Chain A
Amino acid sequence: MAEINTDKGGGKKHSKKPKGKKMSTRIDLTPMVDLGFLLITFFMLATTLIKPQTMEISMPSKDKVPEEEQSKIKASKAITIILAKDDSIYYYFGTRENDIDPEVIVSNFGPTGIRQVLLDRNASVMAKVAQLRKEKSAKNLTDEDFSKQLSLIKADDQAPIVVIKSTDNGTYKNMVDILDEMNICNIGRYAIVDITAFDKELIQNRKK
């Protein structure tokens, strides 16, 4: 394979002084190229280029908070989303008032499903966020300022509060998808809560 070409080249046969051996220094590089590509193949197979992303969530603390310190949410601002079998979603606004049950509506994960509902409810925040995005590109806000203002907008008192519950038939994908919708729709205040008997009853009544 890699040999050094040692033939003398067409030297003059009849010259008196024997010329010093003319050595060609060209080396055959083919094996090295082979090796290079072999290593490339190895690295392509043994490594990954994509780094997984992560979604940060905060769960409510399980510590008991005294009744008077609990922040009561306004029923008119609350949206309860219940994840059910086969990627279906039930949602209702508010809670039971004067013995009248809130109307439970069926929805889905499509773009016209739950997202549209949340976007409509959260329209004022969405407008502010869009404004902020524009400002960011125009005035070159730093990322730090941007995220600070974004969280201020999201903490708006008038913004809806979403309570996420899942039946035992829900899957992890449903959970991540709904949390993702919270990010897409810029909803700052949401919580994952265990399903209550009241919710189960509402769904039962609806099915009848």
Chain B
Amino acid sequence: MCDVAFLLLTFFILTSNMVQVEAVKVAIPSSISEIKILETNIVKILIDPQGKIFYEIDGQEHRMNLLKKMGEQYNVTFTDKELREFSIVPSFGVPMSAMKSYLAIKAEDRSNKENLLGIPCDSTDNQLKYWIGMSLAVNPKILISIKADQSTPFPVIKKVFGTLQDLKQNRFNLITSLEENPIR
């Protein structure tokens, strides 16, 4: 009995990976594509059904450098404490003007509705473009992926695609769940 329990335990530890806490829950569409997503060096652009954009990048070091660069861009200086706080935030979606107050609040409160503002991605204020551009500067190896909800309206998707095209990132990944190929 004890053996079995620990055998199962070992199995689960080895085969599974931790659930990542994301700022928003999205229902991803399915596709027949069988390419597995990479675990490291990945940037995820999360888009919720209302079209709010959230951003996720792996690596604490990269995150700290990224925020520092973004701060320089938008003339916001972040303290070491804030940088450290940012390095453990899994995914975020606030405009740069609200970043300081976002980092000041408790981690549990960050997923409250009023703190999920989304990153602006309009032609007048395209902060997403800078986030991606800076991420590429911080870690040139990163792969850009988009994880959007099924019911996200197309104009938002078009805006994000357009932003990526502006940055000459013409190849990117759409995260989907697996579906069986009907023809084979």
Contacts and interface: CB of A to CB of B under 8 A. Distances in A.
Interface of A: 29, 32-33, 36-37, 39-40, 43-44, 46-63, 83, 111, 115, 119, 133, 166-177, 179-180, 183-185, 192, 194
Given A55-B31, A56-B173, A29 B1 contact: yes
A172 B178 contact: no
Interface in B127-168: 145, 147-155, 157-158, 161-162, 164-166, 168
Contact of B13 (A43, A177, A180): A43
Nearest to B147: A52
B12 to A, nearest CB: 4
Contacts of A60: 165, 170
Nearest to B169: A59
15 contacts: A39-B9, A47-B16, A47-B18, A48-B16, A50-B178, A52-B177, A53-B175, A54-B175, A56-B172, A59-B172, A171-B150, A173-B150, A176-B30, A183-B31, A185-B183
B176 interface: yes
B28 A52 contact: yes
Interface of B: 1-2, 5-6, 8-9, 12-13, 15-19, 28-37, 47, 145, 147-155, 157-158, 161-162, 164-166, 168, 170-179, 181-184
Nearest to B161: A59
A44 B17 CA distance: 10
B21 to A, nearest CB: 11
Nearest to A31: B2
A175 B152 CA distance: 10
Contacts of A179: 31, 174
Nearest to B37: A54
A55 B176 contact: yes
Chain A contact residues: over half helix, strand or loop, or mixed? mixed
Nearest first, the 7 closest Cβ-Cβ pairs linking A and B are: A36-B5, A47-B16, A173-B150, A170-B154, A172-B152, A55-B33, A54-B173
A61 B168 contact: yes
Contacts of A194: 158
A171 B151 contact: yes
Contact of B174 (A57, A61, A185): A57
A111 B15 CA distance: 35
Contacts of B13: 43
Contact of B8 (A40, A46, A54, A59): A40
Contacts of B166: 62
B177 A53 contact: yes
A52 B29 contact: no
B34 A53 contact: yes
Given A47-B19, A61-B170, A176-B174, A166 B154 contact: yes
